[in-house]
Amino acid sequence: MLLKPLGVKPGLCHTGDMKTETSQDWVGAQATAAELLRQQSGREAFHALVPPFGPQTLEQAYTSQDAFVQLQAAQRHTHVGGYKIAITTPAMRAFVGFDDAISGCVLADTVFSNGKEVQAAQFQHLIVEFELALQFGQDLPERDDDWDQHSILPYLECAYPSLEIADDRFADYALLKQGFFSLVAENAWNHGVVLGSAIAAKDFDRLWQTQATACINNQAIGQGHCGDVMGHPLIAMAWIANHLRSRGRRFKAGDWVTTGSWVASSFLWLGKAFALKCQAWLRLLWWFVKHAFLPKEGASGTGNLLKAFHNGADLHWHKHTRLGFGDQTCTALHLSFVAVKL
């Protein structure tokens, strides 16, 4: 029986048990978390944190991430609903200038079902990432040896095509490497996930052969293969299991993980239709973006609209944003996935 992806109680990263011995060692974590939330609330551009806030090591960055997720969960009365791996492909590593994967959490109030509407204006610089999520059907036991792609497989029950919603707050990617620990601390910029229909474990072999092409207005902008994610999605799952085990945590039945973007992140442009064509799934997944807001007085035309948008003008959003897999009609500012048989 496939587990439902929404409303699953978190198996780790509970708001009450996230601290580890290491996380108690760095007193700057809480201040860093508060500073990141202040910057998000003030809609400031992303930049490398500086003392006394800036984490100086990867462990300090993850400690700050724990505090950041805790603080968000407490403020929003929610809990961790899933997990993410980022920087898993050569394309993404080249994009951000870092040569390893990182992990993060997805809060339950940002795990979206079909047709869920969210306020588009809450984001500063929205990013699209097409991914595959894998869900555990059993608790991971304690283990002396490291997990690998073979030992992790029996504990997985299903997969989901997924879309990660991220916000880079207009980060300067030329400077991102020096601010990379700040990105980790900010929960790898995660702002939500849309999960599609479950793909049963019996179909995994076909799924591992999936190739995909990302398009804007039917023009290819990048290609990816399921195996581009750290060599194999199961290698990515083993990586995060080992990573979290090193921090005193284990996955539970029902936990799921998005395994990383297949192609370099795409930034939303109004009036464009984004798509990921996946032949092996026999589906065509489209993400539509439509014009749906009015600029402040004095701006007119598409060029001025985009210029005003990127300059932070006071735009008046006419509609909400719709996120989901399904057959929703795209009107106004609705973002939708539509599955079509090839």
Is residue 7 assigned to a domain?
A: no
Neighbours of 54 (CB within 10 A): 18
What confidence tens digit (pLDDT) does each residue in 166-180 have? 899 999 988 888 889
Long-range contacts of 219-222 (CB under 8 A, 24+ apart): 221/263, 221/266, 222/91, 222/263, 222/264
Q: Are strands 293-294 and 199-200 parallel, antiparallel or unpaired?
A: unpaired
Residue 95 has pLDDT above 80, yes or no: no
What confidence tens digit (pLDDT) does each residue in 127-162 have? 878 888 999 999 999 999 999 999 999 999 999 888
Is residue 34 assigned to a domain?
A: yes
Q: How many domains does the chain have?
A: 1
What is residue 267's predicted lDDT score, i.e. its pLDDT?
66
Is residue 229 assigned to a domain?
A: yes
CB 247 within 8 A of CB 103: no
Which range of residues forms the domain containing residue 304? 29-341
Is residue 237 assigned to a domain?
A: yes
Is residue 13 assigned to a domain?
A: no
In degrees and rounded to multiples of 5, residue 116 shows phi and psi of -65, 135
Long-range contacts of 53-58 (CB under 8 A, 24+ apart): 53/28, 54/181, 54/182, 55/26, 55/28, 55/181, 55/182, 55/184, 55/185, 56/181, 57/181, 58/181, 58/184
Is residue 295 assigned to a domain?
A: yes
Domain containing residue 298: CATH number: 3.90.850.10
What confidence tens digit (pLDDT) does each residue in 85-94 have? 998 877 667 7
Residue 238 has pLDDT above 50, yes or no: yes
Is residue 122 assigned to a domain?
A: yes
- Mean pLDDT throughout 75-81? 96
CA–CA separation, 162 and 175 (whole Å): 29
What mean pLDDT is reported for the chain? 74
Is residue 249 assigned to a domain?
A: yes
